[in-house]
């Protein structure tokens, strides 16, 4: 069982704290064994929006945790105490993955954990983050970043995305998608998607793009082009591209590729299909193409992904 230590110190925003507790603190019904154990760790009571939260254990609870989550600060001008900084450094040095949600990145910056890393935070605070912590490479145009042992996310909904990303790393895409369904949110978005899009949740009621998204998802095993999707949507290709960018933050073909890879993840986890058969079933054609595109999107080869997640119960 992995231990998740959630840092509660100073003044925090309640949404991001709740996200961490909801995703990591509630195991799925009939889900995998070895779910997370969550502890609130801090030096004293913390102000969280209109509430006061008492930590379960002190800052010593950060050291030895597998994951340390740093929720959003209510005021980025607040400077974390020396004991908080030292506890974060010690936890990271001991091997914890440290995850900041939204403006929690400023706490990581104060601890020196952003130096030399590509990081993000809410777009409204990205410039200040870069100015205060010049050793960090701040990217205001992504939802979250994963540097292995240090992960950062943008605002609000992106906190959900990065937490689901951690679940996917630990338990696979099927489990992460099951958590998303429980939360009634879309499957987790890739970190490289844009922060600021007109409609961050595709397929909402009344959106003219929803039917073509569903249509394309039901035909992932077939060749599909922008012209095909535009014809189905009764739009010009140019207008379709604009709608895709507004709704998903991606081009139509990039969105389609990501959906094909997500489907490949599910098949690798849940079936014994060969890599060749998975490539055909997802419309990627050949094993070579599947391996190249899968590694580009997921970061590992299909065979390694299957070994990691195929036999999880």
Active site residues: 102
**What is the number of H-type helices and E-type strands within the chain?**
13, 11
Q: Considering only CA atoms, which of 184, 187, 201 is closest in space to residue 248?
A: 201
State how far the Cα of 194 lies from the Cα of 215, in Å rounded to an integer. 24
The CA distance from 59 to 88, in Å, is 9
Distance, CA of 212 to chain centre? 25
Alpha helices in 26-81 (DSSP H): none
List, in order, residues 6 or more apart from 103 with CB less than 8 Å away: 13, 72, 73, 76, 121, 122, 125, 155
Q: Which helix (H) or strand (E) holds 11?
A: strand 11-12
In DSSP terms, 51 is beta-bridged to: 48
Structure token pair of residue 254: 């990039």
User: Hey, what are 200's tokens?
Assistant: 């961050």
Strands 51-53 and 11-12: what pairing? unpaired
């Amino acid at each position: 069982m992995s231990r998740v230590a959630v840092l509660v110190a100073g003044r925090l925003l309640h949404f991001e704290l709740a996200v961490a507790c909801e995703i990591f603190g509630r195991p799925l019904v009939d889900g995998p064994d070895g779910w997370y154990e969550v502890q609130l760790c801090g030096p004293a009571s913390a102000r969280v929006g209109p509430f006061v939260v008492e930590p379960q254990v002190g800052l010593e609870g950060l050291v030895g945790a597998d994951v340390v989550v740093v929720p959003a600060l209510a005021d980025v001008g607040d400077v974390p105490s020396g004991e908080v900084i030292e506890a974060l450094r010690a936890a990271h040095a001991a091997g914890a993955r440290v995850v900041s949600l939204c403006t929690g990145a400023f706490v990581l910056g104060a601890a020196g954990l952003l130096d030399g890393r590509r990081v993000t935070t809410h777009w409204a605070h990205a410039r200040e983050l870069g100015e205060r912590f010049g050793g960090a490479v701040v990217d205001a145009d992504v939802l979250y970043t994963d540097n292995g042992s240090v992960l950062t996310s943008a605002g609000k909904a992106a906190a959900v995305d990065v937490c689901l990303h951690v679940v996917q790393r630990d338990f696979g895409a099927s489990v992460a998608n099951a958590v998303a369904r429980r939360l009634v949110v879309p499957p987790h978005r890739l970190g490289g998607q844009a922060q600021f899009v007109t409609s961050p949740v595709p397929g909402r009621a009344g959106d003219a793009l929803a039917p073509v998204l569903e249509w394309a998802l039901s035909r992932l095993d077939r060749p599909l082009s922008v012209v095909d999707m535009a014809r189905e949507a009764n739009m010009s290709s140019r207008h379709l591209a604009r709608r895709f960018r507004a709704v998903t933050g991606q081009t139509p073909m990039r969105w389609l590729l990501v959906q094909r890879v997500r489907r490949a993840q599910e098949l690798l986890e849940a079936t014994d299909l060969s890599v060749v058969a998975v490539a055909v079933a997802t419309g990627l054609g050949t094993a070579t193409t599947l391996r190249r595109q899968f590694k580009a999107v997921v970061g590992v080869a299909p065979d390694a992904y299957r070994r990691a997640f195929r036999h999880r119960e």
